[in-house]
Chain A
Amino acid sequence: MSIFAEKKSPVIALSGVGKSFVLHNQGGAVIPVMEGAALEVLPGECVALTGASGAGKSTLMRMIYGNYRANQGHILVGGVDVARAEPREIIRLRREGLGYVSQFLRVVPRVPTLDVVAEPLLALGVAEDRARARAAALLARLNIPERLWSLSPTTFSGGEQQRVNIARGFAHEYPALLLDEPTASLDPVNRAVVLELIEAAKARGTAIVGIFHDAEARDRVCDRAVDVAAFTPQVAA
């Protein structure tokens, strides 16, 4: 890491983050899943979350996005503490500052693909023609044939849906970005495009947290890895 980078303050900063699930309808079972999680991501840095399946990579990522509620600690993203913020503050953060490419595309049925991809820009008040032009450029870059743009992505193949999801996640240039398996189920050509998009985002200063089972992709775009097994609670006997 260069001295220049060390002068910057982190875009994403987690400290002392803990979480338990309480299953009220299964005898009130308490399942501690995370303890003392800490993480800092600087502008232009990409950090990989690693660890065995079930270690809590997705849970941690969902907590950063505010999708899961953290029970302890602080999750600062662009100055907003996601662990404590009001819903409207998190909504604003998600609209302007924090993107998330999940593994699943969740959209209103029957909305054309072009509009699905343009929606994050429209939500920011970008003019419709500009938002659609940006969406079209991303879809073309990700090799989604133009004849599909006017159709809803709900009927697309897994790989096509994944690419639509990525186009949507990259439509707005968020300062912070969460990527859950962005290269899964992609062919080599599209995988290369996604890696280029990630590298371009880093170059303009986006702080990225990613989960990559694809080790080669991880090595190429990630600056370092954090093993979430370190945050697994020590279960008392």
Chain B
Amino acid sequence: MTPLLQVRDVAKMYGARIGCTGVSFDLYPGEVMGIVGESGSGKSTLLNCLAGHLKPDAGQVIFDTRVDGPVDTVTMSEPARRMLGRTDWAFVHQHARDGLRMNVSAGGNIGERLMAVGARHYGDIRARAVDWLDRVEISETRVDDRPSAFSGGMQQRLQIARNLVTDPRLVFMDEPTGGLDVSVQARLLDLLRGLVRQMGLSALIVTHDLAVVRLLADRLMVMKDGHVVETGLTDQVLDDPQHAYTQLLVSSVLQV
């Protein structure tokens, strides 16, 4: 089986300071990998390098495209990378307002991504928008409301619908449950797990919440000071951490 994403020695510097360095891994279709570490560990920098939002200073990010097979997205043309961003890739921001157009209706937010890949029939677009609102548990009656009238949890679910409507194969998530209260977080986790299973999605999830990765991620990568210090099965890394930093991280979690 060909990996969906092959990351080779990716590095990003901020002047003399290391953003992330020497990061390599393969992600296979259907795999969900968590990237954990404290603030400043380089996990968001890495995610943005992989998703094409930041240009890495070194390394390759090879994505298995539907048409041309494995292609290095770092060296591909800007229009080609943008096209990936609208089709096979999805990016779920921590703050829904970064991923939504707040002055456009909920249906419009979903429809916009369909139109970006060529959908033109209004009835079809609206029907698919309504279908996706239902899948993320937002009532059809809210299709014409703007996201600014939604709660934080609903905004996050709308952002997910907007991202998944084009059937992407790889979803990047940056703290998807951050800033939501715990009951809303639980519902979102359940929704994400269901969608990952039903759609066979691969996902990279950046978070500092170890409980979230335990429930969502198959594999875990632990970062510290821009370096990957440990990788492995999620439950193995959390229950039998090998690296000093991972041991500290796991032992620092407050028990409920």
With both beta carbons as reference points, the residue of chain B lying nearest to A85 in the complex is identified as B233
Whether A66 and B186, one on each chain, are in contact in the complex, defined by CB atoms closer than 8 angstroms, is no
Shortest distance from the beta carbon of B247 to any chain A beta carbon, whole Å = 5
Give CA–CA (A66, B218) in the complex, Å. Answer: 13
Whether A68 and B236, one on each chain, are in contact in the complex, defined by CB atoms closer than 8 angstroms, is yes
Interface segment, A17-25, A181-189, A208-216? Answer: A17-25
Q: A25-B247, A87-B219 are in contact. Are A69 and B232 (CB under 8 A)?
A: yes
Shortest distance from the beta carbon of B148 to any chain A beta carbon, whole Å = 27
Shortest distance from the beta carbon of B227 to any chain A beta carbon, whole Å = 16
Whether B197 and A66, one on each chain, are in contact in the complex, defined by CB atoms closer than 8 angstroms, is no
Shortest distance from the beta carbon of B26 to any chain A beta carbon, whole Å = 9
With both beta carbons as reference points, the residue of chain B lying nearest to A154 in the complex is identified as B186
Instruction: Map CB proximity to B onto A44-85 as digits: 1 under 8 Å, 0 otherwise.
Output: 000000000000000000100011110000000000000000
Asked whether A111 is an interface residue with its Cβ less than 8 Å from the other chain, the reply is: yes
Whether B233 and A90, one on each chain, are in contact in the complex, defined by CB atoms closer than 8 angstroms, is yes
Residues of B within 8 Å of A24, CB to CB, are 243-244, 247-248
Interface residues of A, count at CB 8 A: 21
Asked whether A91 is an interface residue with its Cβ less than 8 Å from the other chain, the reply is: yes
Residues of A within 8 Å of B190, CB to CB, are 108, 110-111
A80-118 at interface with B (beta carbon < 8 Å): 87-88, 90-91, 106, 108-111
Whether B244 and A69, one on each chain, are in contact in the complex, defined by CB atoms closer than 8 angstroms, is no
Asked whether A123 is an interface residue with its Cβ less than 8 Å from the other chain, the reply is: yes
Asked whether B251 is an interface residue with its Cβ less than 8 Å from the other chain, the reply is: yes
Whether A25 and B251, one on each chain, are in contact in the complex, defined by CB atoms closer than 8 angstroms, is yes
Give CA–CA (A87, B213) in the complex, Å. Answer: 15
Asked whether B189 is an interface residue with its Cβ less than 8 Å from the other chain, the reply is: yes
With both beta carbons as reference points, the residue of chain A lying nearest to B246 in the complex is identified as A24
Residues of A within 8 Å of B189, CB to CB, are 108
Asked whether A122 is an interface residue with its Cβ less than 8 Å from the other chain, the reply is: yes
Whether B186 and A91, one on each chain, are in contact in the complex, defined by CB atoms closer than 8 angstroms, is no
Asked whether B183 is an interface residue with its Cβ less than 8 Å from the other chain, the reply is: yes
Asked whether B97 is an interface residue with its Cβ less than 8 Å from the other chain, the reply is: no
Whether B239 and A68, one on each chain, are in contact in the complex, defined by CB atoms closer than 8 angstroms, is yes
B224-248 at interface with A (beta carbon < 8 Å): 232-233, 235-236, 239-240, 242-244, 247-248
With both beta carbons as reference points, the residue of chain B lying nearest to A26 in the complex is identified as B247
Whether A23 and B247, one on each chain, are in contact in the complex, defined by CB atoms closer than 8 angstroms, is yes
With both beta carbons as reference points, the residue of chain B lying nearest to A152 in the complex is identified as B186
11 contacts between A and B (CB under 8 A): A67-B235, A68-B239, A69-B240, A87-B233, A87-B236, A90-B233, A91-B218, A108-B189, A110-B190, A111-B190, A123-B197
List 8 other contacts, CB 8 Å, given A22-B242, A24-B243, A91-B31.
A66-B236, A67-B239, A69-B236, A106-B214, A108-B190, A109-B182, A109-B186, A122-B197
